[in-house]
Structure 1
Amino acid sequence: MVVLLAAGCGDNADEPAATVTAPPASATSAAPVPSTPASQQPHILVFTATGTAALTSVTYELDGKSTAVTDRKLPLRLSVDVPSDGLRHEWKLTIKHGKGNVELRAIFNGKVVGTSRGSTSGTGTASAGGSVLG
């Protein structure tokens, strides 16, 4: 069995607030206006997994809420919304797998915040976790 843990954090608390101005009522064509200012839109946490192993289970957690993933084939890519609330949010990705190797990566708003690698000739578990600022 192989168990790896990597932690990371991201911080986007200094992002400026966006101002949205609606087009005049007489305009005939205008770009869509976001219903939520950019400063309040959720952040994106992306989990990726690559490698050669057959996956037996994939689970991710955000703030203690666990979600089992039914698509268990490599390569794997999952996108999770993280509230833009200025609070710290804990995350974890756990993959159980058979013979082969697995590489995990967590990306928060385009920045890598955690990685993990595992290889086994039997069965193993690869895991990465950390926290990000929403």
Structure 2
Amino acid sequence: MESYYVLVGIILGGIVFLAVFFHYVPFFLWLSAKVSGVNISLVQLFLMRIRNVPPYVIAPGLIEAHKAGLSKITRDELEAHYLAGGHVERVVHALVSASKANIDLSFQMATAIDLAGRDVFEAVQMSVNPKVIDTP
């Protein structure tokens, strides 16, 4: 009978450990990044969580940039932009769009536009497809 309680305790402890582990260490996000070819470690994802940077914002940005061929964008740059109050997803979308349209837009310029309060993705879209405003 005592071994039954020990076994139940071990199983419950294991479940609690796994729940805490998967909360702080986004294993499946790491796995999707690895499959996509992005070089990021579990420790880096865990440390993002400790620094109050959501890995579910940074890692998809890295994956999108990597798949678009923008290998110069680093995890540190995206984290710094997020911590500065920027919109990581908009900046990465804008850089990918600018790259596909052969518009020379650096990461520093895109983040500066974003931190200035402008929608950098919309600015790139306006460069690609300018709107004509009719005036009377």
Confirm or deny a common fold (TM above 0.5).
no
Shorter-chain TM-score: what band? under 0.3
Greater Cα radius of gyration, structure 1 or 2:
2
Structure number with higher relative contact order (C-alpha < 8 Å, ≥ 6 residues apart): 1
